[in-house]
Every structure is written in C-alpha cells, then in structure tokens.
Amino acid sequence: MTTTAPRDTGARARPDGGPELPPPRGELSEALIARLRGLPGALPDRGAVAAAEPYGEDLQLALHLGYELHYQGFAGVPDEVEWDPELLGLRALLEGRFEGALRDECGRFATPVEVFETLLTEPVDGRGLSHYLLRHGTMEHLREHAVLRSVHQLGEADPHLWVVPRLRGRAKAGMMAVQYDEYGCGRADRMHARLYADLMGALDLDPRYGHYLPVVGAPALANANLMSMLGLRRVLRGALVGHFAALEITSSPAASRIAAALRRAGAGEVAARFYDEHVEADAVHEQLVRREVVGGLLEEEPDLASEVTFGAEATVLLEDAFGESVMRAWESGTTALRVPLDDLPPAE
C-alpha cells in the first residue's frame, strides 16, 4: 500500500458545513480516508497498526478521523458511516495501540492524591509552554498556538460529556455543574468554544471547526484523541475523571499567563477573553472537580482509583510532550505547524 502523504492544505468549499477530509500522513490514514471517500480497498489489519508509531503522525491522524465521526463528521461523508463496523474495528485497534503506549509510560504515581498534589505545585524552573509564551511569545507564536489548540478548543467540553451517563450521584452532579459553565450557562455567546472562535477571529485566523486539522501535528492531536478515547469508552470512565481533574487543576495558572501574553503582544481584549474566563472559572472548578467529581466517583467505585491516577498522569505526559515539541520548534526558529501560517490562504 502506498504511503505518500500529499501536503495540499488549501481551503476548499464546504457545501454541507463539515470540515474537509485532510490529506493522509501514511498508510493507516490513507486507507481510512479512502474508505470515508467511498473508495474500495481493505483497511489496515492488526499487524499494520501494531507496527505503527503510537504517537506518530499517521496513527494519530487516523485515530482523530475515527473519533471525529462521532462529533461534526466531514464534508461528503454520510452520517451512517459513524457506525460502520469495519471502521469501528480499525478504531479499536488504533486506540488499543495508543492506550497501550500510554500505560507503558505511566505508573509513577500510586494514588490520585499523589498526582494531584504534584500538579498543584508550579515548577520552580518556569519551564512550560505558557511560561514561554509569557516571556518570549510573539504574535506569530500566539497565532500558531491558537491553531494547534483549535482541534480541541473549538469543541471544548464535548468529549467530557460522554462520561456523564456513566457517573452517579455526586460525581454526575458535580460534572454537570462544571459543564454548565463550559457551555456558557445557557448563553451561546458565552460558550467556551464560541469564545475560542472569537479569539481566533481576533488573531486573523479562520475560526471554522476543523479548518486547521491538515496543519496540526501529532502531539496536539494526541491530546485531543486522549479526551475522545477516555470519553467514548465506559470502561475508561475513571481515567476520564482523572484527566478532567488534571486539566482543571493546571488550567487557571496557565490561562493567566497566556492572557497576559496576548495583551503584551497587542492582541486585544477579545483575544484575551477566552483565557480570562478560564482564570476565574477553573479556579472554582478545580475544587469542585476534586471534591465532588473525583471524590464522588471514588466513594461509589473505589476500585477506580488507579484509573483516575492513570487518566491524570497520561494527560500530563501528553501535555508535556506537546509543549516540548512546540518550544523546540520555536527555539530553533521554525514553525510548530506542519505548514507555516503564511503559506495558508487567509481567514474567511
């Protein structure tokens, strides 16, 4: 099977409102995209998936495409494809490879308390992506960062809602209290995904869902894929709660730094509003999630403690890898995207 991966990233018409399928990045994503286009051909087997790099461009793109069928879908792809049994079988192989790699790398922490206490301690060396943006971030850095995060933030909180029917009592009520804020407390203009679209518009970026997928690399896709994998699988409900807690614990300080970086670069108040919202909201959410969502889950299902720990640790692992990949690119004077923003069509 050919493994050519064309780099055509030009904007195309989206007649039915969904994002266009991106170019493939290897044999896994090529076969999957061909199937989504309705072309004949076999899907990759277990051996092909096992041979793929679990954090690599090909597997992460293929996995992301499989998950996106449960969200907004793609232009020209029938809705019925969401439940194609062969595609679901391939997705299970892909996420098994991904999850297995994560579990092999996690295990430093014995309990949720240990990992959460570590997350509550800011690093003394100030190393991290939000620190870099605050100290050194240019407008181009901030625009690239917005593009990289857009694969998740334009659908913020959607992956986390999958867990709600799998929770009970305090955990369910606490999760819904947080999600109510994430979705703007009933106001469409205050939904966090909408605030992120406004941020992108203020940075002269295209705010359409999925528009920048072709230029977003594997480290960013892996973060988004983790959310979908944990949310979509009931057996991983404990890990989803741990993941969600890790995000809430680390969000407020990082958001404060990025908001300051945007203002320093002259991006304006509309751009900073998304992060301002997270500074205030997530400081409250962190306590609520630890006490009610994590506490409530472990009160009901104490055997899930190791899964909560895994979810939190996997989140930190992938976030750190993402941040390091972006900073390496910027420190070497190159783009953190697969294609520089200047080579893309202007925002519509």
Residue 15 confidence (pLDDT): 45
pLDDT tens figures, 53-62: 999 999 999 9
What are the backbone angles phi and psi of residue 187, rounded to the nearest 5°? -110, 120
Q: What percent of the chain has pLDDT over 70?
A: 93
User: Same domain for 125 and 260?
Assistant: yes
Residue 53 CA to residue 229 CA, distance in Å, equals: 17
pTM summary value: 0.92
User: Same domain for 154 and 230?
Assistant: yes
Higher pLDDT, 287 or 70: 70
Q: What is the mean pLDDT of the chain?
A: 92
Indicate which CATH number applies to the domain containing 202. Answer: 1.20.910.10
Least confident among 77-86, 121-130, 143-152, 204-213: 121-130
pLDDT confidence of 344, banded at 50, 70, 90?
Answer: confident
pLDDT confidence of 282, banded at 50, 70, 90?
Answer: low
**Cβ atoms of residues 289 and 312 within 8 Å:** no
Read off the pLDDT of each residue in 29-42 and give the average, rounded to a whole number: 96
pLDDT confidence of 348, banded at 50, 70, 90?
Answer: low
Q: What percent of the chain has pLDDT over 90?
A: 84
Domain that holds residue 141: 110-343
Residue at which a domain ends, from 58, 88, 104: 104
DSSP string for 286-337: HHHIIIIIIHHHHHH-GGGHHHHHHHHHHHHHHHHHHHHHHHHHHHTTS-SS
Q: How many domains does the chain have?
A: 2
Residue 159 in any domain: the answer is yes
Residue at which a domain ends, from 104, 124, 140: 104
Residue 267 in any domain: the answer is yes
Residue 27 CA to residue 38 CA, distance in Å, equals: 17
User: Same domain for 179 and 250?
Assistant: yes
